[in-house]
Amino acid sequence: MRNYTLYRFKTLQGRLAVMLLLPIFLIIFSGGVITFLYTGNFLINQWNESAVLKLQRASHDMGMRLSKPIELIETLFKISNQKNDPLYPKSIVEYLNSLEGVTQATFIDTQKNGENTFAQTSAMGMKHHGMMQVYGTKLSKISDPEYNADQGHETVTLFFSLFDSNEKAVGNLEVKMSFNYLLKDIIRLGWWQSDMACIVDQNGKYMAHTNMTMKDRHYLGGENDPLEIEILEQMKTNPSGTVKSSGYPPNLVAGFYKLEQVPWTIILFAQGKIILKSITAYRTAFALSSFVLVFIILMLIKIHVGKITNMIKLLSKNAQNVAKGEYGKAIEVQSQDEIGQLVHSYNTMVEGLEERDFIRDSFGRYVDPDFAKHLLKHPDAGKLGGKRREVAIMMSDIRGFTTLSETLSPEIIVSILNQYFSHMIAIIQKYNGIIVDFFGDSILVFFEPLSSSLEDTVLNCIQCASDMQYQMHEFNRKMNEKTLPELAMGIGINAGQVVVGNIGSETRAKYGIVGSAVNIMSRIQAKAKKQEIVITDAVYKYVKKGIEVERSFNANLKGVDYSIMLHIIKHN
């Protein structure tokens, strides 16, 4: 049984099953992880925004409760001023003790050396000893409150200074408010499911908290808790936010918000598994669905793997033949599914390779690949032999290059030529010129009127020559940067009837031209001086209206029994 299993694994069918399943599993798993992380982050960000908004509401509610004693005192002073009725500390204390959340209101007479002259609470009566003088003092002003929670973790104390009509301090007013009262509606906010809340100052010192287990704690992060330390760091730069402990889901989630009235921050803690319950439920559902999907894919692979492996074997066999240059017949496409698409792609690839090899053998490297495909669409373009056709012919040559070659090393000469040819070939291919050959530093090119008139073809040839002369400035600039000598070029252009076709043998052929119009090209271009373009009268008759001529002259060319009219054209 073991040997049979090993044999199945060594077969193409067995390996294909593993090779297909493993990538699919990895893709599903990685895609699932990415999707889960993205969705999880999206849900967490939504929760963060909601948490901050609700913390803001809690901060607002707490601020409103903290401001009630202040608003009451301001109202009492306003009424006193309107009715011109004296306001005494006794009245302020009585009104404050009637407020919800105030556990004790106390007045301290500073005129009695800081001794407490009277105190009144909701649970205690007033002390009458020593109060008469204070009660007889008319108050005219009260200071802004100061806050303190050092006296205990269950109350927050507000301190006021009272002044008489002469703006002389007559005593201090202390108002203690229940911390539980300040936070009583926070549990109803809906986002947190814990009874743990606290208020800290900007340094992390506890002002108050609701958790009895933290009664002996004085500073946030005092026990090196990572979550509390992170909260402190976030508080330094952000007025609000949420922080999570490690793990997923985190053990605790904390939200903080700085109060506007006092330099304190309210912090609420919640259990991560409750807060992020929807996210963890999504993770579990996604994991189960992923395993189900992988199982279904495994069954489908097992059912169809036989057909797949047979086709892969055929493709593999044919690929080996293609590697030997034996393209053979196209494989029949038997289905429209992915295997059918694979076979179709294989056939297209083989067809492309066969066409590429034909282009390489027929046109070499000196014809733009797209233009070569255009040539192949014409009848007999790929066969040996040719046809008579009117074409435009161009030949360029570097002036003084022979003398220059005698002063430079062969390596430098080759380097200069290679850079020059690379520059010129790109321009020629841009204008769909067909390079016939290189003769030393000369380039022979022809332009064939495949889908346009000969007039347009001749004009296109002249434009190519002008562009080549213009681009020599950029080429020479690069030569100067490399401390290499500048080059100058002369160009000749002719037009006439030649034989165009594949010249050579069945094993090696080249698309080119032959004829008398080609034979005299080297003599025509020799009449062009540096940076000049010389055209024959056969060219000029096609483009008289499209170009300007600097000068014209008759030239006697070697091997030609009659003189030829040549024209020097203007170019940019």
CATH number at 258 reads 3.30.450.20
- The CB density around residue 506, as the number of other CB atoms within 10 Å, is 8
25-34, 92-101, 297-306 — which one is most confidently predicted on average? 92-101
- Do residue 266 and residue 382 come from a single domain? no
Q: 123 or 310: whose pLDDT is higher?
A: 310
Phi, psi of 199 (to 5 degrees): -125, 130
Among 242, 276, 310, the domain boundary falls at 276
What confidence score (pLDDT) does residue 16 get? 59
Range of the domain at 467: 364-569
Q: Does the pLDDT of residue 325 top 90, yes or no?
A: no
Question: Pairing mode, if any, of strands 533-536 and 489-504?
Answer: parallel
- Do residue 372 and residue 497 come from a single domain? yes
Residue type, 160: F
* Range with the poorest average pLDDT among 76-80, 391-395, 433-437: 76-80
Q: 491 or 388: whose pLDDT is higher?
A: 491
What confidence score (pLDDT) does residue 397 get? 93
Q: How many domains does the chain have?
A: 2
What confidence score (pLDDT) does residue 138 get? 60
Mean pLDDT of 168-186: 78
CATH of residue 529's domain is: 3.30.70.1230
Per the structure block, which two tokens stand in for 326? 């034996």
What confidence score (pLDDT) does residue 446 get? 93
Q: With pLDDT > 70 as the criterion, what percentage of the chain qualifies?
A: 73
Give the model's confidence band at 17: pLDDT under 50 very low, under 70 low, under 90 confident, else very high: low
- Does residue 548 sit within a domain? yes
* Range with the poorest average pLDDT among 283-292, 355-364, 450-459: 355-364
Residue type, 412: I
Give the model's confidence band at 535: pLDDT under 50 very low, under 70 low, under 90 confident, else very high: very high
Q: With pLDDT > 90 as the criterion, what percentage of the chain qualifies?
A: 17
Give the model's confidence band at 129: pLDDT under 50 very low, under 70 low, under 90 confident, else very high: very low
- The CB density around residue 289, as the number of other CB atoms within 10 Å, is 12
Residues forming beta bridges with residue 437, ordered by sequence position = 444
What confidence score (pLDDT) does residue 131 get? 32
Q: Does the pLDDT of residue 6 top 50, yes or no?
A: no
- Does residue 500 sit within a domain? yes
What confidence score (pLDDT) does residue 78 get? 81
- Does residue 425 sit within a domain? yes
Give the model's confidence band at 121: pLDDT under 50 very low, under 70 low, under 90 confident, else very high: very low
- Do residue 430 and residue 543 come from a single domain? yes
What confidence score (pLDDT) does residue 296 get? 77
What confidence score (pLDDT) does residue 391 get? 92
When the pLDDT of each residue in the chain is averaged and rounded to a whole number, the result is 76
* Range with the poorest average pLDDT among 36-40, 66-70, 255-259, 318-322: 36-40
Among 230, 253, 276, the domain boundary falls at 276
Q: Does the pLDDT of residue 371 top 50, yes or no?
A: yes
What confidence score (pLDDT) does residue 263 get? 79
What confidence score (pLDDT) does residue 175 get? 87
- Do residue 374 and residue 263 come from a single domain? no
Residue type, 58: A
Residues with Cβ within 8 Å of residue 469, at least 6 apart in sequence = 489, 491, 531, 533, 571
Torsion angle of C-alpha atoms 366, 370, 372, 373, degrees rounded to 10: 160
What confidence score (pLDDT) does residue 49 get? 76
Q: 316 or 373: whose pLDDT is higher?
A: 316
Give the model's confidence band at 428: pLDDT under 50 very low, under 70 low, under 90 confident, else very high: very high
Q: Does the pLDDT of residue 455 top 70, yes or no?
A: yes
Mean pLDDT of 249-262: 79
What confidence score (pLDDT) does residue 487 get? 92
What confidence score (pLDDT) does residue 552 get? 92
Mean pLDDT of 172-192: 70
First-to-last CA distance in the chain? 84
- Do residue 410 and residue 523 come from a single domain? yes
- Do residue 498 and residue 371 come from a single domain? yes
Q: 219 or 323: whose pLDDT is higher?
A: 219
Q: Does the pLDDT of residue 497 top 80, yes or no?
A: yes
16-30, 285-299, 314-328, 522-536 — which one is most confidently predicted on average? 522-536
Q: 83 or 398: whose pLDDT is higher?
A: 398
pLDDT in tens, 131-166: 333 444 566 666 777 777 654 556 778 888 877 767
Asked whether 533 and 469 are in contact (CB, 8 A), the reply is yes
* Range with the poorest average pLDDT among 200-209, 264-273, 276-285: 276-285
Among 276, 293, 308, the domain boundary falls at 276
Q: 157 or 495: whose pLDDT is higher?
A: 495
Nearest to 27 by CA among 248, 293, 322: 293
Stated length of the chain: 572
Per the structure block, which two tokens stand in for 222? 């005092």
- Do residue 424 and residue 563 come from a single domain? yes
Q: Does the pLDDT of residue 114 top 60, yes or no?
A: no
In terms of C-beta distances under 8 Å and separation of at least 24 residues, what long-range contacts does 285-292 make, across chains too? 286/32, 286/35, 286/36, 287/32, 290/28, 290/29, 290/32
Q: 249 or 450: whose pLDDT is higher?
A: 450
